[in-house]
Amino acid sequence: MNTKLKVSEISKIYPGCVANDKVSLEFGSGKIYALLGENGAGKSTLVKILSGVVKPDEGQVFLNNESIKLNSPLDAKKNNIGMVFQHFNLFETLSVFENLSIDSDKKNEDLRVLVNDILKKYKFKIELDIPVLNLSAGQKQKVEIIRCLIRNPKVLIMDEPTSVLTEQETDDLFISLKQFSKDGILIIYITHKLKEVLSLCDEVAVMRKGKVVSVSNTNNEKIESLANKMVGENLNTIKKKINNFKNSEEILKISNLNFKSDDPYETNLNNLNFSLKKGECLGIAGISGNGQNELFQILSGEIITEGTSIMFRNKEIGKLNPRERREYLMAFSPEDRISQAAVPELKIYENVALNNFKSSNFFEKGLVNEKKIKEHSKKILSNFSVNTDNVELKSQFLSGGNLQKLIIGRELITSPELLVCFNPTWGLDVGAINYIHETLIQINEEGKSSILISTDNDELLKLSDRICVIYKGKLSKIMNADTVTAEKLGILMGGGSID
Amino acid sequence: MSFDLNFIGILIGAIMASSVPLILAASGELITERSGVLNLGVEGMMIIGAISGFALMVVTDNLFFAVIGSMVSGLILSLIFGLLTQSLLTNHVATGLALTIFGIGMSAMIGKNFVGIPGKEFPLLFLNLKESIPFLGPIFFGHSIILYFAFGLPFLTNYFLKKTKTGLIIRAVGDSPTSASNQGINVTLVRYSCILYGGAMCGLAGAYLSLIYTPQWIENMTGGRGWIALALVVFATWSPIKVLIGALIFGGITILQLHMQAVGLRIPVQLLSALPYIMTIIVLVVISRDSRKIKLNTPTSLGQIFYKEK
């Protein structure tokens, strides 16, 4: 069975942004296609159009040379186009089987037989009658894939599927995808990870600013060539100097740190111990949901713990709140830029004022000193090359990269001794990632310390001096970064052990 | 001895009758909330149901029309809520509060001409059995058809939510409207339907008050029962069976404390009057303290406005 999918002259314009500009592409079954591009390049809009979630302003989609209308997700389903979204479209409180049965017309008994066949065929191991919120990210993704497979898809679209997976889970996914491709399913794989394009896909289309800039066979491409096409300029690679911290002063010591939660969505932390020296970067790897959130909140003071379990510059700070910790020159950059780090409805200078209220003189006798805050904000915008000089702009209009620069800038401009950041480059494009990475290396070179909690192994290996892995609320032993490989991290992240 | 037992039977029957409006309104609101919509207009829809039921009874002299009319009026009021929150995307809480205020005022205005008019006798079923069987007779027989319906409703609701496809879709929409929409479910339609059903049930609860429980029109006769129903849904952690238990406890203690007041116990009246509220909350909190189950039953998107991507 041969499937041909063609998109022709697709355009989609949002206010102030051309998401897709006359995009034309052709796909045929038997191959795995990569759709590569930075954030905001228009990949997601294109796949949302293909899955019927968003309607294009212009252009047509052809399946096997017939024009098809995709006005709703139901239309996509009817045309056997399956889609696995980056942010899972699952119902967390429903059971796995309920999630599968909700959009199937089959009788429950028949569906169960079919699902069990699929589980057997592709060697998936998932319990069907537990709530989805108990599954790991990799398992949730499998549920999404099974939901597509039930409908015998001709086309399967995967949107950034590996952002939540371990190395092992990624390998498993690639094996499955190759098998689907062999079974005649046309696969479109959306990503901004260059390595994956080369190891998995046969052809690659690169998108930039809403346009397709290149279509080529992956055999003819290298990581550098793809990166340059994607960004549209030559990127300089950054490297970190390896340091020896034997004689440095210890700045932070965590001892016997425990955290117990009654909330089934949270992870308990179990007896964490580590220390950090001046100028050092400690990387903490792990699959999301293994206690990173809780650890970040404990370090930042959102969750208060025993005084003695956190010693910062020889002071007990476990009981202090985030503001008090900032006065001891700690700084924090949370994972969720929109809801934790900044208030999107507030203007840039108002967001800047939010975490500086005692050490600075932004507030005098209870009044806001707007002039001072604005001057200070302008300095951040220029020092950290945020792409605007308008401090009156509402923060929600900044792109992810610029917002992250603003947040990091806001934290660093007070010259803190320790910066704790959690997935600082999550969802950013290559240019912004590069900038953030350079900044993080720079603060280490200035003798300031940092803790980098991240789910991106490449980032951890690039920036950390020492690395450990968090798994189910426990830390692995701490290793020197030069002895660590991505494979080692992958094993530890999946709960295995290495020696 | 047999007299005492029969008296207890009558007492239980009275308790059941007093909990009917709570069961009806809370079961309706439970479906609404399970779809992710928080309608705080329960009290308003109940009182509108009460006055329109009573007024229709007076005007048409037909109890069937009166009951149906009360449900339709509750439904119309909830339709206004639906239009505002689902189509015009207004805030659920503010809109619901406005609905209650509107309902109370509107009912008082319509009701002016109906004050002091005596109600009509509502047919009670199995009256002969009620009298011939001691103890069990007054418990199980001699009630209106609406009471039997109300006591079946939580079980039906439970079955509907857990075992049917439509129930599954409602729970899915309450869990994540965005995911549901991406799966091709018409979130707005599902939510509208749940809102309208909730409105009709609140209307019926009001009719029970003005046609059966105290067959007359008194201004503000719902007396906060709508708010109790709302609280029951939350404290019962969105479980229909627990709503039934909660409503019975509330009704039970209301009746019992009235008897205690009549007997003249030396407990302050205010404390006795507060007892049903306190006890219902305590019991429901105790029976629903499994935080895992709460997570699974709570409609995650409750009160959130849903925008569809275009």
Interchain pair A53, B182: CB under 8 A: yes
Interchain pair B184, A265: CB under 8 A: no
CB nearest B309 (choices: A53, A103, A263): A53
Query: Topology of domain A236-329+415-499, per CATH?
Result: Rossmann fold (3.40.50)
Above 70 in pLDDT, residue A421?
A: yes
* B292 close contact with A: CB closer than 8 A: yes
CB nearest A94 (choices: B171, B184, B298): B171
- Find chain B residues with C-beta within 8 A of A131's C-beta: 296
- Check residue A354 and give its pLDDT: 81
Alpha carbon distance B7, B19 (integer Å): 19
- Check residue A324 and give its pLDDT: 87
- Find chain A residues with C-beta within 8 A of B169's C-beta: 102
Q: Regarding beta strands A203-208 and A58-63, do their DSSP bridges make them parallel or antiparallel, or are they unpaired?
A: unpaired
Q: How confident is the model at residue A34 (pLDDT cuts 50, 70, 90)?
A: very high
Ramachandran category for residue A90: left, alpha or beta (phi over 0 → left; psi -120 to 50 → alpha): beta
Provide the token pair at B303: 């009160």
Calculate the average pLDDT of chain A. 87
Q: Pick the most confident of A445-449, B7-11, B83-87, B276-280.
A: B83-87
Q: How confident is the model at residue B1 (pLDDT cuts 50, 70, 90)?
A: very low
Please tell me the CATH code under which domain A4-231 is placed. 3.40.50.300
- Find chain A residues with C-beta within 8 A of B304's C-beta: none
Kindly report, residue by residue over B155-169, the tens digit of the pLDDT.
999 999 999 999 999
**Range with lowest mean pLDDT among A49-63, A364-378, A471-485, B34-48:** A364-378
CB nearest A73 (choices: B175, B184, B300): B184
Alpha carbon distance A68, A49 (integer Å): 12
- Check residue B3 and give its pLDDT: 56
Q: Give the mean model confidence (pLDDT) for residues A231-244.
A: 66
> B33: distance to nearest CA of chain A, Å?
15
Residue B295 resides in a domain: no
Query: Do residues A140 and A132 lie in contact, with contact meaning Cβ atoms separated by under 8 Å?
Result: yes
Q: Which helix (H) or strand (E) holds A333?
A: strand A330-333
pTM check: above 0.90: no
First-to-last C-alpha distance (Å) of chain B? 72
Interchain pair A51, B182: CB under 8 A: yes
Closest C-alpha to A433, from A102, A91, A192, A78: A192
Interchain pair A91, B171: CB under 8 A: yes
Chain A with chain B: Cβ pairs closer than 8 A: 69
- Check residue B44 and give its pLDDT: 97
Alpha carbon distance B99, B227 (integer Å): 13
* B34 close contact with A: CB closer than 8 A: no
Among chain A residues, the shortest Cα distance to B299 is held by: A93
Interchain pair B176, A89: CB under 8 A: yes
Among chain A residues, the shortest Cα distance to B167 is held by: A102
Closest C-alpha to A37, from A221, A209, A233: A209
Q: Regarding beta strands A367-368 and A363-364, do their DSSP bridges make them parallel or antiparallel, or are they unpaired?
A: antiparallel
Please state the domain count of chain B.
1
Q: How confident is the model at residue A356 (pLDDT cuts 50, 70, 90)?
A: low
- φ, ψ at B301 (rounded to 5°): -90, 15
Q: Which B residues in the span 219-258 are in contact with A, Cβ-Cβ below 8 Å? A: none
* Other beta carbons less than 10 A from residue B227's beta carbon: 16
- Check residue A236 and give its pLDDT: 60
CB nearest B184 (choices: A72, A133, A264): A72
Q: Give the mean model confidence (pLDDT) for residues B74-88.
A: 96
Q: Which B residues in the span 181-200 are in contact with A, Cβ-Cβ below 8 Å? A: 181-185
* Mutation target vs B (from A89, A147, A151, A260; most B CBs, 10 A cutoff): A89
Above 70 in pLDDT, residue A235?
A: no
CB nearest B292 (choices: A101, A103, A264): A264
Kindly report, residue by residue over B91-139, the tens digit of the pLDDT.
999 999 999 999 999 999 999 999 989 888 888 888 888 888 888 888 8
> A131: distance to nearest CA of chain B, Å?
8
- Residue B303: CB partners within 8 Å, gap ≥ 6? B36, B37, B38, B92, B93
* B175 close contact with A: CB closer than 8 A: yes
> A335: distance to nearest CA of chain B, Å?
22
Q: pLDDT exceeding 90 applies to what percent of chain B?
A: 66
- The conformation of residue A482, written as its DSSP 8-state character, comes to G
- Check residue B34 and give its pLDDT: 96
Numbered residues of chain A with Cβ closer than 8 Å to any chain B Cβ = 48, 51-55, 72-74, 77, 85, 88-94, 98, 101-103, 131, 133, 262-265
> B23: distance to nearest CA of chain A, Å?
25
- Check residue A491 and give its pLDDT: 83
Q: Give the mean model confidence (pLDDT) for residues A359-382.
A: 82
Domains A4-231 and A236-329+415-499 share a fold: yes
Residue numbers of the domain that contains B86: 2-222
- Find chain B residues with C-beta within 8 A of A93's C-beta: 171, 175, 295-298, 300
Q: How confident is the model at residue A155 (pLDDT cuts 50, 70, 90)?
A: very high
Q: How confident is the model at residue B309 (pLDDT cuts 50, 70, 90)?
A: low
Q: Which residue has the higher pLDDT, B86 or A73?
A: B86
Q: Give the mean model confidence (pLDDT) for residues B265-281.
A: 86
Domain boundaries of chain A, sorted by first residue: 4-231, 236-329+415-499, 344-413
Among chain B residues, the shortest Cα distance to A262 is held by: B291
Kindly report, residue by residue over A14-30, the tens digit of the pLDDT.
776 788 999 999 998 88
Bridge partners, A453 (sequence order): A284, A422
Distance of CA A46 to the CA centre of its chain: 20
Interchain pair A93, B183: CB under 8 A: no
- Find chain B residues with C-beta within 8 A of A89's C-beta: 176, 178-179, 182-183
Residue B254 resides in a domain: no
Alpha carbon distance A223, A296 (integer Å): 33
* B291 close contact with A: CB closer than 8 A: yes
Above 70 in pLDDT, residue A466?
A: yes
Ramachandran category for residue A374: left, alpha or beta (phi over 0 → left; psi -120 to 50 → alpha): alpha
Kindly report, residue by residue over B131-189, the tens digit of the pLDDT.
888 888 888 998 999 999 999 999 999 999 999 999 999 999 999 999 999 888 999 99
Among chain A residues, the shortest Cα distance to B289 is held by: A262
Kindly report, residue by residue over B40-60, the tens digit of the pLDDT.
999 999 999 999 999 999 999
Residue B246 resides in a domain: no
Query: Do residues A85 and B179 lie in contact, with contact meaning Cβ atoms separated by under 8 Å?
Result: no
- Check residue A296 and give its pLDDT: 94
Query: Do residues B141 and B133 lie in contact, with contact meaning Cβ atoms separated by under 8 Å?
Result: yes
Kindly report, residue by residue over B194-247, the tens digit of the pLDDT.
999 999 999 999 999 999 999 999 999 998 999 999 999 988 899 999 999 999
Alpha carbon distance A412, A421 (integer Å): 12
Above 80 in pLDDT, residue A234?
A: no
Residue B192 resides in a domain: yes
> A158: distance to nearest CA of chain B, Å?
15
- The conformation of residue A95, written as its DSSP 8-state character, comes to B
Kindly report, residue by residue over A92-140, the tens digit of the pLDDT.
999 999 999 987 888 889 999 999 999 998 888 899 999 998 888 888 9
Residue B142 resides in a domain: yes
As a whole number of Å, the CA-based R_g of chain B is 20
